[in-house]
A and B are shown apart, each in its own frame.
Chain A
Amino acid sequence: MALIQFSPLTLKTFKRFRSVKRGYWSAIIIISLILLSLVAEVFVNSRALMVSYEGEWYFPTYGAIIPGDVFGLDYQYETNYRDLKQKFNDEDSDNWVLLPPVPYNAFETDLTVGNYPPNAPSFETQHYLGTDTVGRDIVARLVYGFRIAIFFSLFLLICNYVVGTAIGCLMGYWGGAFDLLFQRLIEIWSNIPFLYVIMIIASIIVPNFWSLVIVMLMFSWMSMTWYMRTATYKEKEREYVMASRALGAGTARIIFHHIIPNTVSIIITFIPFSVAGGITALTSLDFLGFGLPPPTPSWGELLRQGIDNLQSPWIVSSIVMSMVLVLTMVTFIGEAIREAYDPKKHTIYE
């Protein structure tokens, strides 16, 4: 027996989603990227995956740092595993180091005297997309920047939808004065220029991940309310709502058990576009300097650097390509979802 029983309708929607090939594959790629980004430390990191030293094994990826003197080096700060690997190779000993494919983290500045950043992509130094203006690896900045951007956007989406759906449903379900009051409130609130508010806030406090989510939430929860309000208005007049009310169900039960499941197609259709919106919003803010504080890896900051240093085209091309790819894939997913939920294809006359 299957763990979760999907209704035939859901299965049919899913099948339809799968039939839109580019959307389906985009979804697979994006979801894999998100999952992989959770363990990005394994692929893109200055810490080694494994060190075998004097017969003992070390796994430095997660947890406390291992100071250099543990491996017989003459310093107490974190071991530089790239140098350690070089040292072991030179000594020709039994000790070995296994480095991740990209052996840099997003913060360390790979600087040597006489070699001035930004450096062009090179397989020899393993900076596959080059370095930025301080000598940080661009692959590392992109990967960790992606992780921050995508999770920022997902958290923002969840908050927005919870607030927006709740208020929208109540407006539609209760109607009357409550509806009227919130309509006016939302109209006024949406006219506050968001960017100015962000600029003012950024001049007072140093924004961090959560404070930015909250500020963005304050100015974007309104979008969902209109759609949910309309949908609820429509649904609450339907017989099944009347029937459950006749059976004695309360407001909460009717909204959560009856109305929302029947309007879920609206919510799901919007998700990919909100994700794309969240990523661009954060990138734009970082670009303008009102986003996450330095040295947080960020796409906006990379874009800024790229535009300021057009003579080092690898910076601007990496970040523009990444943005175009991610945003296009998200849009493909959105398109496929819309296709899957298209009511015109669910007709019983089919």
Chain B
Amino acid sequence: MIPRNIQSMNKFIFLSLILVLTYGCSSQDGNEGNVTVGTTEQQVVPVVEDLPEYSVSELPEGLVWLTNEDDPVFADPNAKPGGTYNEYMPSFPLTLRAVGPDSNSGIRGYILSNQLSLTDIHPNTRKFMPALATHWAYGDDNKTVYFKINQDAKWSDGKQVTADDFMYTLDFMRSEYIVAPYYNNYYNSEIVDVKKYDDFTISVTGGTAKPKDDLLLYYSISPTPRHFHKLDENWVMDYNWLISPNTGPYQITDVVKGKYVEFTRNRNWWGNDLKYYQNRFNVDKVRISVIRDPETAYRHFLRGELDTSILTFPNYWHDKTNDKTYQNGYIHKIWFYNDLPQPAAGIYLNLDNEIFLDINVRYGLAHSINIQTMIDTVLRGDYERLHAMHTGYGEYTNTEIRAREFDLDKADEYFSAAGWGERGPDGIRIKDGNRLVVVLAYSTQLHTDRLVVLREEAKKAGVDLQLNLLDSATYYKNVIEKKHQAAWMSWSISLRPSFWQHFHSDNAHKPQTNNITNMDDPEIDALIEQYDNSDDVNARTELARTLDMKIHESGVYIPSYYVPYVRHGYWRWVKLPEAYGTRLSDTLFDPMYLSLFWIDEEEKQRTLKAMKNNESFEPVTIIDDKYKVAF
């Protein structure tokens, strides 16, 4: 005799619970309808009648053409082609377009990796190396780069890649039909002009002068197949599920909606014989299946249905590898240190908040935040303390900055200087009857464990650090509208430190900007303007280091941690090159970017047989720190 409505409500909640718990598995064999989107041969592409034509300009005299064929190769000559590599994505993409609405999906990275740009960065020497361009030359204005396009370069449908395809990129990215305001803006303000000199020579001009080293970083654009796109108001809908021709080694060959996307290696790829492309992109097929939950995906990995897994989280590396698949040597573990720019993770204080107006409070708070204990306990000492906001940017990084350490005496000194010397009955500091409360907004349940430690430790310093877990959309809205008091935040990395968006007064005290500390300081403004307008590398790096020091002195940012490595588990039939990876490898198993690994089919058969017969191999754990850098 349970009341009907209560019963049905509970049933509903419980059903949802069960759904949540089992969705990951059920979606694997559920009947979501095997809608095959198709392959490149089957798809119907709108006919492009008038191919855009572009006028030819005169190439300036005296250009010095540069290239780079002398750096060491980073792939392994022993790599064997063949095999299928299995990966997962958490949800099925809403489109196969790489730009426009909903294009920011789990497979966009793979699609973009196969749309090569003019040049690449060598992942060990960090020098530029040829990709679609064979040579490049710098203009005198420090804004223009000239490129010679590789005459062998072909689209995956066999058509030649020419200067017109690069000219078309500008038209395409500026078009309002692609509904991509970010790109519309970027290709107007950052990329100002693309010129054609003959079918295989172009130049790209940017909006601001930059040091020579940086020009290629920003202006190595990709071509767009002008014979494929018919730009009109229906473009977004018409091209939702069309597979675009590309210039890279892999092309999508099979799409089953809701289930998987499969890429196949183009064995006749035009780049096969180029020095830096040899012995890379080894697997024949890459299948990316939908598995909604990382925990379920890990179970699939342990069963051998996925070939590799990321084990960077401490609980995965230490606890979830206590499994017989590892102990019997079927799965190997690798801990690989890299040398990459690190995300600027930590606590950002909002200077528009009254209590942070006093710099002593900012310093006091920094000394009350116990990042080290958090790292040493819940993170098992695996992460490293971050000191400067821009870490891992080479010369741009100021290694003299040391983050303020947890120190109750110093905290007390600073807080007392700000008038927060007295403590209330609950041990929290008080001033004029107000408690010292700092509300820290954050956006993921995953970080609760870490922040709980900070909260308990901050109590000792007399700070009531309240944790405010918000749904991620609400969190970003709150922070970007500057409604937060303090935000637990991690800015993603960029190619070079960019200060204007985060610290210039142009962006302070107004919503929808990235200056979430509301920093508003004429001295810092002047430095940022100098930094942005400098085209001399030494001056620029010097300015970046000075700016990072100013940020440190202002106390608005409390750095947390960084993770200078990647950790993986991989089945023993997946083989890595001798060096395992490169200086810039953020993963060792991206099948389309760098892609140095291969699959040994014989080893796979041997392993499967051994598993059947309960035979074991020597367990393998590799720790490689040749690229480890201390900051």
Partners in one complex: yes
Contact between chains at A134 and B449 (CB < 8 Å): yes
Interchain Cβ contacts under 8 Å between A and B, 7 examples:
A76-B423, A113-B381, A116-B378, A194-B12, A195-B12, A295-B452, A309-B319
Total number of residue pairs linking A and B with CB closer than 8 Å? 141
Indicate if A98 sits at the interface (CB-CB under 8 A).
no
Using a CB–CB cutoff of 8 Å, the interface residues on chain A facing chain B are 63-65, 67, 75-78, 107-109, 111-113, 116-117, 133-136, 190, 193-195, 202-204, 206, 219-220, 222-224, 226-227, 269-270, 273-274, 277, 280-281, 284-285, 287-289, 293-295, 307-309, 311-312, 338
User: Which chain B residue has the least Cβ–Cβ distance from A112?
Assistant: B377
B470 touches A111 (CB 8 A): no
A203 touches B468 (CB 8 A): no
- Residue of A65, A277, A308 near B427 (CB, 8 A) is A65
Pick the contact of A202: B21, B318, B471 (CB < 8 A): B471
List the one stretch of B228-236, B453-461, B569-577 in contact with chain A. B453-461
Q: What is the predominant secondary structure among interface residues of chain B facing chain A?
A: helix
Q: In residues 364-412 of chain B, which contact A (Cβ within 8 Å)?
A: 373, 376-378, 380-381, 408, 412
Task: Knowing A67-B423, A226-B4, say if A281 contacts B10 (CB, 8 Å).
Answer: yes
Q: Cβ of B467 and Cβ of A295 under 8 Å apart?
A: yes
The answer to whether B445 and A289 touch across the interface, beta carbons within 8 angstroms, is yes
* Least Cβ–Cβ distance between B569 and chain A, in angstroms: 15
Tell whether, in the assembled complex, residue A206 and residue B377 are in contact, meaning their CB atoms are under 8 Å apart: no
> B343 at interface (Cβ–Cβ under 8 A)?
no
Cβ–Cβ < 8 Å partners of B474 in chain A: 203-204
With a CB–CB cut-off of 8 A, which chain A residues contact B629? none
Contact B469 A293 (CB under 8 A): yes
On whether the beta carbons of A311 and B468 are closer than 8 Å, the reply is no
Is B449 in contact with A133, judged by CB distance below 8 angstroms?
yes
B-chain residues with CB within 8 Å of residue A117 when the two chains form the complex: 377-378
Nearest opposing residue in chain B for A280, CB measure: B10
Task: Give the chain A neighbours of B412 by CB distance below 8 A.
Answer: 76
With the chains together, A45 CA to B314 CA distance in Å? 30
For residue B93, CB closer than 8 A to chain A, the reply is no
What is the CA–CA distance of A223 and B460 in the complex, to the nearest angstrom? 48
Whether A294 contacts B3 by the Cβ 8 Å rule is: no
> Shortest 4 CB-CB distances between A and B: which pairs?
A64-B425, A223-B5, A77-B460, A111-B377
B43 within 8 A of A: no
Shortest Cβ distance from B135 into chain A, in angstroms?
A: 53
The answer to whether A134 touches B453 (Cβ under 8 A) is yes
What is the interface residue range for chain B against chain A?
35 or more
Q: Is B353 an interface residue (CB 8 A)?
A: no
Write the chain A residue with the least CB distance to B470.
A206
Interface set, chain B 425-482, CB cutoff 8 A to A: 425-427, 445, 448-449, 452-453, 455-456, 459-462, 467-471, 473-474
Query: Of A107, A204, A309, which contacts B456 at CB under 8 A?
Result: A107
Q: List 15 other contacts, CB 8 Å, given A223-B6, A293-B468, A309-B315.
A: A65-B426, A67-B427, A76-B412, A107-B456, A193-B12, A195-B13, A273-B3, A273-B6, A274-B3, A277-B10, A284-B14, A288-B16, A293-B469, A294-B448, A338-B1
B614 interface residue per 8 A CB criterion? no
Q: Is the CB of B408 within 8 A of A223?
A: no
Nearest-Cβ distance from residue B159 to partner chain A, whole angstroms = 48
Cα separation A267 to B318 with both chains bound (whole Å): 53
Q: Indicate if the CB atoms of A294 and B469 lie closer than 8 Å.
A: yes
B17 and A284 contact, CB distance less than 8 A: yes
User: What chain A residues lie within 8 Å of B460 (beta carbons)?
Assistant: 75, 77-78
> Can you name the residue of chain B whose Cβ is closest to the Cβ of A203?
B471
Asked whether B4 lies within 8 Å of A223 as measured between CB atoms, the reply is yes
Q: Across the two chains, which residue of chain A brings its CB closest to B412?
A: A76
A116 adjacent to B469 (CB under 8 Å): no
Please indicate the chain B residues that have their CB under 8 angstroms from the CB of A293 in the complex: 467-469
For A65, what are the chain B residues with a Cβ–Cβ distance below 8 Å?
A: 425-427
Name the residue on B nearest A219 (C-beta).
Answer: B9
What residues on A are CB-neighbors of B425 within 8 Å? 63-65
**Closest residue on chain A to residue B379 by CB atoms:** A116
Q: Name the distance in Å between A22's Cβ and chain B's nearest Cβ.
A: 18
Say whether B606 faces chain A, with CB atoms less than 8 Å apart: no
Inter-chain contact A270/B3, CB cutoff 8 Å: yes
Contact B423 A206 (CB under 8 A): no
- B20 within 8 Å of A by Cβ? yes
**Cα separation A204 to B475 with both chains bound (whole Å):** 10
Find residues 1-59 in chain B having any chain A CB closer than 8 Å to their own CB. 1-7, 9-10, 12-14, 16-17, 20-21
B268 contacts A by Cβ under 8 Å:
no
Report the Cα distance A293→B469, complex, angstroms: 7
On whether the beta carbons of B3 and A224 are closer than 8 Å, the reply is: yes
Docked-complex contact B2 and A273, CB < 8 angstroms = yes
Kindly list chain A residues whose C-beta atoms are within 8 Å of the C-beta of B10: 277, 280-281, 284
**A307 and B9 contacting across the interface, CB-CB below 8 Å:** no
Point out the residues of chain A lying under 8 angstroms from B3, CB to CB: 223-224, 227, 270, 273-274
Q: Provide the residues of chain A in CB contact with B320, threshold 8 Å.
A: 311
Residues of B within 8 A of A136 (CB): 452
Chain A residue nearest to B426 (CB atoms) is A65
Contact yes or no, A280 B377, CB < 8 A: no
Given the interface pairs A77-B462, A206-B468, A294-B469, the reply to whether A190 lies near B13 with Cβ below 8 Å is: no
- Residue of A67, A116, A117 contacting most chain B CB atoms (<10 Å): A116
Tell me the smallest distance from the CB of A313 to a CB of chain B, in Å.
12
A67-B423, A134-B453 given; A220·B5 CB < 8 A: yes
- Residues of chain B within 8 A (CB-CB) of A202 are 471
Out of A134, A222, A284, name the residue touching B5 (CB < 8 Å): A222
Whether B467 contacts A294 by the Cβ 8 Å rule is: yes
